[in-house]
Amino acid sequence: MAENKIGIFKKFKIGLEKTKKNLNTQIEKVFSSYKKIDDDMLEEIEEILIGADIGVNTTIEIIEYVKEEVKKNKISDPNEIKNIIKQYMLDALSEEEDIENKANQKVILIIGVNGVGKTTSIGKLAYRLKNEGQSVIVAAGDTFRAAAVEQLAEWCSRAKVDLISNIEGSDPASVIYDSVQAAKARKSDILICDTAGRLHNKKNLMNELNKISRIIEREYSEAKKEVLLVIDATTGQNGIIQAKMFKEVCQIDGIILTKLDGTAKGGIVIPVQKELGVPVKYIGIGEKVDDLQVFNAEAFVDAIFS
Ligand SMILES: Nc1nc2c(ncn2[C@@H]2O[C@H](COP(=O)(O)OP(=O)(O)OP(=O)(O)O)[C@@H](O)[C@H]2O)c(=O)[nH]1
Ligand SMILES: [Mg+2]
Is the pLDDT confidence value at 101 over 80?
Answer: no
- Ligand 1 centre to CA of 120 (Å) is 5
Q: What pLDDT, in 10s, does the model give residues 179-224?
A: 999 999 999 999 999 998 876 677 887 888 899 999 999 999 999 9
Share of the chain above pLDDT 70, in %: 95
Q: What pLDDT, in 10s, does the model give residues 42-60?
A: 999 999 999 999 999 999 9
- Ligand 1 centre to CA of 170 (Å) is 23
Q: Where are the domains of the chain?
A: 5-92, 106-296
Q: What pLDDT, in 10s, does the model give residues 238-272?
A: 999 999 989 988 899 999 999 999 999 999 999 99
CA distance 173 to 211: 7
The finding on whether 120 has its CB within 6 A of some atom of ligand 1 is yes
Q: What is the DSSP letter of 199?
A: -
CA 84, 89, 95: angle at the middle one, nearest 5? 135
CA distance 136 to 163: 9
Question: Rg for the chain (alpha carbons), in Å?
Answer: 21
Tell me the sheet residues that pair with 280: 255
Is the pLDDT confidence value at 98 over 60?
Answer: no
Confidence class for position 95, pLDDT limits 50, 70, 90:
low
Mean pLDDT for 79-84 is 93
pLDDT score recorded for residue 97: 62
Give CATH superfamily name and number for 5-92.
Answer: SRP54, nucleotide-binding domain (1.20.120.140)
pLDDT score recorded for residue 232: 97
- The three-state secondary structure class of 1 is coil
Is the pLDDT confidence value at 28 over 70?
Answer: yes
Q: Are 45 and 63 a contacting pair, CB within 8 Å?
A: yes
The finding on whether 117 has its CB within 6 A of some atom of ligand 1 is yes
Share of the chain above pLDDT 90, in %: 81
The finding on whether 296 has its CB within 6 A of some atom of ligand 1 is no
| H-type alpha helices, 163-268 | 172-185, 202-219, 237-249
The finding on whether 278 has its CB within 6 A of some atom of ligand 1 is no
pLDDT score recorded for residue 74: 95
pLDDT, the chain, mean: 92
Length of the chain: 306
pLDDT score recorded for residue 1: 47
CA distance 144 to 150: 12
- The three-state secondary structure class of 180 is helix
Comparing 91-100, 150-159, 237-246, the range with the smallest average pLDDT is 91-100
Q: What pLDDT, in 10s, does the model give residues 61-70?
A: 999 999 999 9
Topology annotation, domain 106-296: Rossmann fold (3.40.50)
Q: What is the atom index within ligand 1 of the atom nearest the CA of 194?
A: 20
Q: What pLDDT, in 10s, does the model give residues 270-283?
A: 999 988 999 999 99
pLDDT score recorded for residue 203: 81
Q: For ligand 2, a single-atom ion, which residues have Cβ within 5 Å?
A: 118-119
CA dihedral of residues 290, 163, 119, 227 (deg, nearest 10): -100
pLDDT score recorded for residue 109: 96
Q: What is the atom index within ligand 1 of the atom nearest the CA of 116?
A: 19
pLDDT score recorded for residue 249: 86
pLDDT score recorded for residue 199: 64
CA distance 290 to 115: 19
pTM (2 d.p.):
0.94
The finding on whether 234 has its CB within 6 A of some atom of ligand 1 is no
Mean pLDDT for 168-189 is 95
Comparing 50-64, 112-126, 151-165, 187-201, the range with the smallest average pLDDT is 187-201
Mutate to test the pocket of ligand 1, among 120, 121, 192, 280 (most ligand atoms within 8 A of CB): 120
